[in-house]
Amino acid sequence: MIRVLLLADTHLGLGEHHFAAYERALAFARDVDLVVHGGDVFYRSQVKPGLVFRAFEPLKRIADSGVPVFVVPGSHERSAIPFPLLAMHPRVYIFDRPRTFNVNVKGADVAISGFPCVRNGIRDQFPNLENRGDIRLLMLHQSVEGASVGPVNFTFRDGPDVIPRRAIPRHLHAVLAGHIHRHQVLDANAPVFYPGATEATSRAEMGEVKGCVTLRIDDAGVHSWRFHALE
């Protein structure tokens, strides 16, 4: 059984309250075996090196403690982490291209596949990544069919920038996702977990509870999960 912390859409750089929410979410890392960031670490692609250093410094502290950290670049980063040298650490894994990382966690071979945000036409570009391990996970920063957003509950059904549920590989144990700012779990070939943003980024989100998610996963699938609200 491994324990995973999933957070996403932190949009660092928008204000100190976003950094405060980020730190509160990362406090849950003390009780997990993996930390996963589902993308949009920053609020835009062009940021100063100091902001990148400040964002990755707590992730490096977590990695120093022996907990691997995985980051998938999101749409606001234009599918790439700025100043990637500032994020370098042997236990910080960044999906700079479609790939799979295998890490040993408590004797289990955990395979985590992922790819940077595809900003146009993901339905026709969904990558076929080899994923072999005792526990098989996929990270992405995209809209998946059935995800809902906004005060009128707009639901993504179809379109070139929407991943159909049937496209989720059946051999996966879970999909850990960012891009959708409302926390939700979608039923697909493997469950799709959106933790939602850690802090509101628009008036349309003001009534939503923001937070992060912890999961317990073994080779049979997701054993349990919990949403943690961030005040």
Query: What is the crossing angle of helices 16-26 and 49-64, to 10°?
Result: 10
**Closest by CA position to 219, among listed 134, 159, 137, 116:** 134
Residue type, 167: A
Segments in the chain forming alpha helices (H): 16-26, 49-64, 122-125
Q: What is the CATH number of the domain that holds 173?
A: 3.60.21.10
Q: What is the pLDDT of residue 206?
A: 84
- For the chain, the distance separating the N- and C-terminal CA atoms, rounded to the nearest angstrom, is 29
d(CA 211, CA 227): 7
Cross-strand partners of 186: 192
Portion of the chain with pLDDT greater than 90, in percent: 94
User: Which of 3-12, 63-72, 158-167, 199-208 shows the lowest mean pLDDT across its residues?
Assistant: 199-208
- Domain containing 19: what range? 2-229
What lies within 8 Å, CB to CB, of 10 at 6+ separation is: 18, 21, 22, 25, 37, 40, 41, 42, 55, 197, 198, 199
d(CA 226, CA 108): 22
pTM of the model: 0.97
Q: What is the pLDDT of residue 20?
A: 97
Q: Provide the 8-state DSSP code for 159.
A: S
Cross-strand partners of 136: 111
**Closest by CA position to 227, among listed 198, 200, 205, 207:** 198
Q: What is the pLDDT of residue 207?
A: 86
Q: What is the pLDDT of residue 224?
A: 98
Confidence of residue 231 (pLDDT cuts 50, 70, 90): confident
HEC string for 29-74: HHHCCEEEECCCCECCCCCCHHHHHHHHHHHHHHHHCCCCEEECCC
Query: pLDDT tens digits for 58-117?
Result: 999 999 999 999 999 999 999 999 999 999 999 999 999 999 999 999 999 999 999 999
Mean pLDDT of the chain: 96
Count of domains observed in the chain: 1
Query: pLDDT tens digits for 119-155?
Result: 999 999 899 899 999 999 999 999 999 999 998 899 9
Residue 192 has pLDDT above 80, yes or no: yes
Backbone angles phi and psi of 211, in degrees to 5: 180, -155
d(CA 59, CA 82): 15
Q: What is the pLDDT of residue 86?
A: 94
Query: pLDDT tens digits for 41-53?
Result: 999 999 999 999 9
Q: What is the pLDDT of residue 4?
A: 98
Q: What is the pLDDT of residue 144?
A: 98
